[in-house]
Amino acid sequence: MLQRTIPIAILCLSGVIMIVAYFVSFAVSWSETVNVWFNILSAVAFVLGAGNLLAVNLEKISSRRPGWAYAAITLVSFFFMLVVGLLKLGAVPDPKNPLIHFAGDYETSASPYGWMYEYVFSPLTSTMFGLLAFYVASAAFRAFRAKNVESILLLGTAFIILIAQTAAGMFLTGWIPQDSVFAVLRFDSLKVGITEHIQTAGMRAITIGIALGVAATSLRLILGIDKSYLSKN
Amino acid sequence: MTTTQHNAGGSAGGSSFLARLGNLDRRWIFLAMGLSIAVPTLLKLRFPEYPSPMSKATFDAVESIPEGAPVLLSFDYDPASAAELQPMARALVHHCASRHQKLVFMALWPLGKQQADKTIETVLKPFHPEYKEGVDYVQLGYQSGNEGVIKLMATNIPAQYPTDASGAALKDLPLVAGMRDLSSFKLIASISAGYPGAKEWVQYANGPMPDAFKVVGGSTGVQVSQLLPYYPHQMEGMLVAVKGAAEYEMLVEAKYPIAQPEVIGQGRVRMGPQLVAHLLMIGLIVLGNIAMVAGRSRGGAR
Amino acid sequence: MMREIRERSRSTMLLAATAAAAIAIPCCIALAEGAGDAATPAGAAVAASDSVVRTDRGPLAIAIVIVCGAVIGGIMLARTGRPLKIRRLAALDAVDEAIGRATEMGRSVLFVPGIQDMTDIQTVAGITILGRVAKTAAEYDAKLEVPTCRSIVMAAARDAVQAAHFEAGRPETYNEGNINYLTDEQFGYVAAVTGSMVRDKPAACFYMGAFYAESLLFAENGNSIGAIQIAGTAEPSQLPFFVAACDYTLIGEEFFAASAYLSGERDQLGSIKGQDFGKLLAVAAILIGCLLATVGVFAPEGAIAHAAETIKTTFGG
């Protein structure tokens, strides 16, 4: 019973405080307190996550499940970064306090932590993000087919934006004078027209719908009507 | 008859080939995309850029605040999107520093602080050596809490950041010692790759105090549609992806030349591969449609 | 029976009291604003920020009262027992088909609840849908895997899946080891999930929650392994990717409506009706604003142009 009542009470109280604080000046400090508590909890959640990561990967290694070697690499990397970062191993001494080890800079690439960040972590995440270019190309190849009027419009818009987003747009239509009646046919003008009018209008419509959805869902949570995020036991 | 059959067979063969293209193994697409990026990068292809209204508005927003006024720069991205956002971050810092703005760096993303540090090391320290830490610029670093950080800063900066990233108390740093809340700034710039980012700065900083400061944003191409509704009222300027960075670089460099132009020229360097990649995508889309039509005609003949 | 009626009426009174309190605060502000002087918006904002009640935010208070009032009205209307007609969503109808296919093929079902924490309302909506997917998977005895990007989401997902197994009458098949925390790091999470997709080849993939750059990486990998894919998000920038690469997509507000729709509870379904009423008001406001602004262009000095400008500065900022 309390497992459900207390969280709902906390949610309801926090929600009402945040709303009131937006309109009443003296309640601002209450909302600050709520924010500070939220920040503390989100910091603690990192520890909770680390515990779960350990449990899952140790179980994988001990039971020799398929891919257990990846779990081992994960744990070794995790502990390496944790120890090097927490103990500031190899940190560059601070010129003002050269004798105080913990005053040293551990984020520079001259230290092991900074080096790992700069030359291992950074390239790896950039690679993952870079994969998007390849997936966008294969998705575009498959999805942009002129099957009906709507898809032809989509195709035409994609064509204009793809051209206008590069120097090719100016190369092809840059010769049309800005002040002529045909200036609207310039790729840069077409792009501005599409993004600032058509796309923004569509996006506003979707955003209004989403905002109303968020408001309704938030209200369901604050009023304790939607309890799906809580255990039923 | 034989000739006719042969022609028909040839036509059918060609049509069959085109139809099969519709199911092209995506690894060929990946290879073509890889080449379209690698070749122009290696050849260092560069093309002229022409500033768009959004990039110009960003430039004008920075120009419109008094010289020496405090500016808050929020690095809300990580290394994954640095290729797209770091060029605009460099140009923005050079622009602000050239106008002697007081700079306060912070991050809503855990790894944003490192991106800000990189920018300080590559732009601020070498090309603006007159900037002294604590007096002319402060690195507040990262705080967890997403938009909660903005909300608290909107009313009480020292409560959110009692110290800067190096652990020095804010009251001991001349630049930020007297700052109570976000209204102490004349401009807030968020360079963001998603949540939390520029949108949250508009909603939780600009929303409660719309006239206190100007907000400008830099965004990845994929995120820009979410920010468009806020431009130009809540967000005075916006830099859109690598192209926005390239345009902004041109505007900044034209007014505030830098000893090593390549430091704030990375956006323009990256526009070469972007042009070829976009042309490839147009080609692929055309090819996909030809394959679809060929497939339909084959279906119709049967 | 009497006890049930008593509990029901007590719950309605509680709802009404909370709703009244929630509405009363913005109402007072709206009244206070009416009593205040008509300064310029900028000047009013500065003056108002120093007063106890932020009168400059009166228009927003009115908007909150209207929207919240509509939603609460919808809930109370639903409690009267009137029939509620909610449009069917193809994406939700396809849930059973997708899980059934996975069961027939002997493959697993993958559910990705986005990459944000429980503080994001999309994640909460995603967890509600997870409950329904988990119940169906439990009934079909299909293996459901839920990799999470946040530890708190993992805890919530475990609760939801366990509750679903109980509801399905198969608590013994619940395995919390299938619901794991991977990493908070966005692309580390993507690498782990897409890697498992390629290795395990799930037959049905659900992406429900807040997604960013990883949306297309998930959807394209899912497409390459031939999985049925159903997505739902309120991130407008990611919707085109899901629409292009997935079989079904819940777009924006549909996603929030889905969590209420799937719950089957009258209160929640009533809130959808209230939400629709709010949308109707938004449409009406847009039409009136457009009409006034258009007429105002032809008579810039007239009363209509003045009215349009007043509405714009009051509500538009």
Residue B58: the pLDDT is 96
Whether the Cβ atoms of residue B57 and residue B237 lie closer than 8 Å to each other: yes
Q: What are the two backbone dihedrals, phi and then psi, of residue A108, each rounded to the nearest 5 degrees?
A: -75, 150
Instruction: Say yes or no: B255 contacts chain C, CB-CB below 8 A.
Output: no
Domain membership of residue A208 (yes or no) is: yes
- B13 lies in a domain? no
Contact flag B287-A166 (C-beta cutoff 8 Å): no
- Please give the residue that has the higher pLDDT: either B119 or C262: B119
Record the tokens describing residue C166, joined without a space.
């109980």
Query: What angle, 0 to 180 degrees and rounded to 10, lies between the N-to-C axes of helices C253-263 and A200-222?
Result: 30
Using an 8 Å CB-CB cutoff, list chain C residues near A48: 151-152, 155
Neighbours of chain B (3+ CB pairs under 8 A): A, C
State CA B216 to chain mean position distance: 12
CB pairs under 8 A between A and B: 140
Do A152 and A106 lie in one domain? The reply is: no
Distances from the Cα of A59 to the Cα of A64, B94, C147, angstroms: 8, 51, 16
Residues A154 and A222 in one domain: yes
Percentage of residues of chain B with pLDDT beyond 90:
61
**A2-23 vs A28-62: helix crossing angle, rounded to 10:** 140
Assess if residue A57 is contained within a domain. Answer: yes
Question: Is C53–A49 a contact, with Cβ atoms under 8 angstroms apart?
Answer: no
Sorting pLDDT into bands at 50, 70 and 90, what band is B147? confident
Cross-chain Cβ contact B143/A137 below 8 Å? no
pLDDT at residue C225 in the model: 94
Question: What average pLDDT does the structure give for chain A?
Answer: 86
The CA radius of gyration of chain B, in Å to the nearest whole number, is 25
Establish if B43 belongs to a structural domain: no
Q: Are residues A153 and A227 in the same domain?
A: yes
Q: How far is C296 from chain A (nearest CA, A)?
A: 20
Residues in chain C within 8 Å Cβ distance of B194? 212-213
In the three-class reduction of DSSP (H, G, I as helix; E, B as strand; rest coil), residue C273 is classed as helix
Q: What tens digit of pLDDT does each residue of A187-208 get?
A: 988 988 888 888 888 888 888 8
- CA-nearest of C111, C82, C65, C50 to C281 is C65
Band the pLDDT of B300: cuts 50, 70, 90.
Answer: low
Q: How many CB atoms lie within 10 A of CB A119?
A: 11
Contacts of A31 in chain B (CB under 8 A): 151
Neighbouring chains of C at 3+ CB pairs under 8 Å are: A, B
- CB-based contact, B192 to chain C, within 8 Å: no
Return all residues near B170 (Cβ < 8 A) that are at least 6 apart. Answer: B157, B158, B161, B162, B163, B164, B176, B177, B179
Chain-chain contact of A219 with C162 (C-beta, under 8 angstroms)? no
Domain ranges within chain C, ordered by starting residue: 2-82+266-316, 90-263
Assess whether pLDDT exceeds 90 at residue A110: no
- pLDDT for position C308: 82
- C100 contacts: CB under 8 Å, gap ≥ 6: C140
So what's the pLDDT on residue B4? 40
| Contacts with C282 from chain A: Cβ below 8 Å | 208, 212
The dihedral region occupied by C82, where left means phi > 0, alpha psi between -120 and 50, and beta the remainder, is beta
Say if residue A72 is in the same domain as residue A104. no
Q: Does the structure show a pLDDT above 70 at B1?
A: no
Token pair, residue C27, equals 């109402």
Dihedral Cα C299, C304, C306, C312, nearest 10 deg: -110
**CB distance B59 to B252 below 8 Å:** yes
Q: Cα angle at C53 between C52 and C59, to 5 degrees?
A: 160
CB-CB under 8 Å, A162 with B80: no
Taking the CA of residue B33 and the nearest CA in chain C, the distance in Å comes to 16
Whole-model pTM? 0.80
Chain B interface includes A138 (CB < 8 A): yes
Cα C279 to Cα C70: distance, rounded to the nearest angstrom: 10
Fold of C90-263: Rossmann fold (3.40.50)
Q: Which residue has the higher pLDDT, B116 or A39?
A: B116
Whether B229 maps to a domain, the answer reads yes
Q: Which residue of B has its CA nearest to C45?
A: B209
- Give the per-residue pLDDT at B232: 86
Q: Do the Cβ atoms of B211 and C116 come within 8 Å?
A: no
At position C255, the amino acid (one-letter code) is F
For chain A, the chains sharing at least 3 beta-carbon pairs closer than 8 angstroms are: B, C
Co-location of A53 and A76 in the same domain: yes
Q: Do residues B261 and B253 make contact, with C-beta atoms less than 8 angstroms apart?
A: yes
Please report residues of B whose CB lies closer than 8 A to that of C149: none
- C81-106 confidence digits (pLDDT tens): 888 788 888 888 899 999 999 999 99
Q: Which of A25-39, A100-114, B74-88, C42-56 has the lowest mean pLDDT?
A: C42-56
CB contact under 8 A, A36 and B32: no
Segments of chain C scoring below 50 in pLDDT: 1-49
Query: Is residue A233 one of the residues assigned to a domain?
Result: yes
Name the token pair of A138: 């294969």
Least CB–CB distance from C187: residue in A16, A125, A219: A125
A109 touches chain B (CB under 8 A): no
pLDDT at B229: 82
> What does the pLDDT read at residue C18?
47
Instruction: List strand residue ranges (DSSP E) for chain B, in order.
Output: 70-76, 102-107, 137-142, 187-192, 214-219, 237-240
Which residue in the set C49, C212, C237 is minimally distant from B225, CB to CB? C237
Domain count, chain A: 3
What is the predicted pLDDT for the residue at B215? 96
Both tokens assigned to C57: 């935010």
> Percent of chain B, pLDDT > 70?
93
| B277 and B7 Cβ atoms separated by less than 8 Å | no
Amino acid at C116: Q
User: Does position B259 have pLDDT exceeding 90, yes or no?
Assistant: no
In a domain, B66, yes or no: yes
Residue A107's domain comprises 92-134
Read off the pLDDT of residues B185-226 as tens digits, 9 standing for 90 and up: 999 999 999 889 999 999 889 888 888 999 999 999 888 878
Q: Are C229 and C205 in contact (CB under 8 A)?
A: yes
- Is B151 in the A-facing interface, judged by CB distances under 8 Å? yes
pLDDT at residue B37, as a whole number: 93
> Which range marks the domain in which residue B256 is found?
53-270
Residue B277 contacts A where some CB pair is shorter than 8 Å? yes
Judged by CB atoms closer than 8 Å, whether chains meet at C236 and B193 is answered as no
The reported pLDDT for the residue numbered C316 is: 60
**Could you tell me if B142 and B107 are in contact, meaning their C-beta atoms sit under 8 angstroms apart?**
yes
Tell whether A125 and A73 lie within a shared domain: no
- Å from B223 to nearest chain C CA? 6
C268 and A131: CB-CB below 8 Å?
A: no
CB atoms within 10 A of CB B55: 26
Has residue A139 been placed in a domain?
A: no
ipTM over 0.85: no
Point out which residues pair with B252 in neighbouring strands. none
**A6-15, A150-159, C8-17, C167-176: range with lowest mean pLDDT:** C8-17
The verdict on A23 and A78 lying in the same domain is yes
Torsion of CA A40, A41, A46, A48, to 10 degrees: 140
Predicted local confidence at residue C209, as pLDDT:
94
Q: What is the total count of domains within chain B? A: 1
Beta carbons of B91 and B252 less than 8 angstroms apart: yes
Nearest to B285 among A46, A158, A165 (CB): A158
Which residues in chain C are contacts of A46 at CB distance < 8 A? Answer: 184
- Is the Cβ pair A203, C236 closer than 8 Å? yes
User: What CA–CA distances, in Å, run from B262 to B122, B258, B265, B268?
Assistant: 11, 9, 5, 9
